[in-house]
Amino acid sequence: MAENNSNNNTGNTRSNAKFRKGLDIFLFLLPAILLFVGILIAPIAVSLYRSFQKWNGFTPGTFIGFKNYTDLFTSGSLHFVPALKNALIIAFFSVFVQLPFSLFLALLLGRKYKGERFFLTVYFMPVLISTVVIGQLWLKIYNPDYGILNRALMAVGLESWTHVWVGDPKTALGSVVVPTVWQYIGYHMLLMYAGVKGVSPDLREAAMLDGATNWQVDRYVVIPIIKPIIRTSVIFAVTGSLKSYDLIRIITNAGPTHKTEVPSTLLEDMLFLRNRYGMGSTISVMLIILCFAFALAITAVFKDKE
Amino acid sequence: MEERYTLKKSNPALKVFIYILLVVWAFINLFPIYFMFTFSLKSNEEIFGKNVVGLPHEWRWSNYSSAMGTGNMGLYFFNSVLVTVFSIAISIMAAMMATYALTRIKWKWAEMTNAFFMLGLTIPLQASIVPVYVILSKLHWLNHYSTLIIPYSAFTLSMSILICTGFMVDIPYDLDEAARIDGCGLWGTFFRIIAPLLKPALSTIGIYAFLQCWNEFMFANVFISDSKHRTLPVGIKALSGAYTTDWGPIGAALVIATFPTLIIYIFLSRKIQDSFIAGAVKG
């Protein structure tokens, strides 16, 4: 196709070839642009536009300025503030429980214990399992009558601790946080482990010869080197928590009485239960803003520390 | 020689303690899989009665036939395969072509266009769900395979481009020039020289995209309401609503959805781990 152009008459060749190249670039990019703009960018623009409207999805919307945004934070019946709080609680446990434990495992496995490959492979397994399956399994574990958790408590004589885990407002959020944190420990561990393995053995050896213990080597040599990976993990953990949906839908279904609502479950309710498409769009936009804001803030925090 | 120094100093008690910890954590990660497999083969009497965590006394494979039969898991499995395969194929093709234009053709806006695509790594899936849902429902386009295939390929695109870029910049540019001298145009170079060299990238992208699509729940749950086009995650949710008191068939459904992935993982663990690492290193 393009090669034919080189034989054209000399006068038009240059501009012709330039046009041809531009066209080729456009054609190469076309499928990706169609998908990306059609499914992501244009809908986001529409969401942004609709987020300023009162709109039920069928009739034309009416423009109401920032009312949806202010309602989100002031109207108690929307449950957005508690939902955001729940998402941030999940984010907190991800960053301060999940990631330190992942790092700890990655550092241990980086020391070449026997069976390193086996442990690595097993620890990563939960990541591959669909969250719906994980949710179903944990439901069976939490089941008040037949679940393993209550049975185990009874077996060791702690009958007073047995509980309707998912149904009790006090423990409902916790019963979602535990599987969420557990499932992705292996994921962050794998990323960090790759970083630990990337640290040159010479560096490690030099530090050991200077009399550093394993923990000191990890603290002063390995961790500073894998900082960019830790930053990536923190960003993934926080944005992932803001987006959480699957396990909540399956385990608690946002209940009891909205106690475990998160922004994504609210978003779905706005579409299917309340016909408030304008407000649904507002929640989408808030989620994008929050994800980008947290990603930037985390990057900034890590820069400061350097 | 590099192996020896690492453990020289640690005391044996600490080492034993660390091993116990590693083994306990391995057990915690394997137990749910074991639990799912065993209760998929038990009757309610066993699950609710004396034999909660042991191996089944009587192996009830009939749980699997009820999951496949009345539970429709066979159909959901087929749907998941179909949606996943097409999503991956579209995503890979679009990503390879785009990456070629972004990394191997010199033009002014290449870098900016690349940054534009990388926005997709941070944008949450939820961002577009309202308008896409409204448009699809107005076009009566809900409840088709393509209802999921198109969004899935769009959402895996950014990561596919990112991974593809990593592989494509490693291909020497001399090859392009040689091809040009031999009379290949941009398209000829792409299809005959570059695309065949990207085979290792394909498996990396494919694995990553496979897990995204295979396990995706939110879009599938919102966009698919008829049972004919349900994928596995939505199918399992529906099944668990139908079999609230009968755990065996649910267990069978969970096994059907999970074990193919796990079995592939056992054989390709390093490859699969590498693809997750490749997807995050630049992130």
A22 and A116 both lie in a single domain: no
Query: Which residue's structure tokens are 């508690």?
Result: A82
Residue A138 placed within a domain:
yes
Residue type, B18: I
A227 and A119 both lie in a single domain: yes
A10 and A159 both lie in a single domain: no
Supply φ then ψ for residue A62, to 5 degrees: -110, 140
Q: What is the arithmetic mean of pLDDT over B164-183?
A: 88
The CA distance from B94 to the nearest CA of chain A, in Å, is 5
Q: How many domains does chain A have?
A: 2
A256 and A150 both lie in a single domain: yes
Mutate which of A4, A6, A25 to test chain B, going by most B C-beta atoms within 10 A?
A25
The CA distance from B50 to the nearest CA of chain A, in Å, is 11
A91 and A137 both lie in a single domain: yes
A260: containing domain: 67-305
A114 and A246 both lie in a single domain: yes
Residue A25 placed within a domain:
yes
Mutate which of B128, B130, B258 to test chain A, going by most A C-beta atoms within 10 A?
B130
- CB contacts, 8 Å: A146 with chain B: 47-48, 52
Residue A260 placed within a domain:
yes
- Indicate if the pLDDT at residue B9 is higher than 80: no
Residue A56 placed within a domain:
no
pLDDT of A306 reads: 62
B273 closest CB neighbour out of A113, A124, A250: A124
Query: Which range among A205-209, B27-31, B135-139 has the greatest average pLDDT?
Result: B27-31
A18 and A85 both lie in a single domain: no
Residue A62 placed within a domain:
no
A46 and A155 both lie in a single domain: no
A21 and A120 both lie in a single domain: no
How confident is the model over B57-76, as pLDDT tens digits? 888 888 898 888 888 899 99
A141 and A273 both lie in a single domain: yes
A281 closest CB neighbour out of B9, B105, B130: B130
Nearest Cα to A103, choosing from A167, A164, A23, A185?
A: A185
- Angle (CA) A125-A130-A134 rounded to 5° is 80
pLDDT of A111 reads: 84
Query: Which residue's structure tokens are 């096994």?
Result: B255
A232 and A132 both lie in a single domain: yes
Nearest chain B residue to A32 by CA distance is B94
Nearest Cα to B218, choosing from B92, B132, B137?
A: B132
A9 and A86 both lie in a single domain: no
pTM confidence score? 0.88
Residue A129 placed within a domain:
yes
Structure-block tokens of residue A168: 């009790």
* All domains in chain B, ordered by first residue: 5-64 (no CATH), 71-281 (1.10.3720.10)
| CB pair distance less than 8 Å for B90 and A35 | yes
| CB pair distance less than 8 Å for B155 and A111 | no
How confident is the model over A174-202, as pLDDT tens digits? 999 999 999 999 999 999 999 998 888 88
Instruction: State the CATH number of the domain containing residue A140.
Output: 1.10.3720.10
Residue A75 placed within a domain:
yes
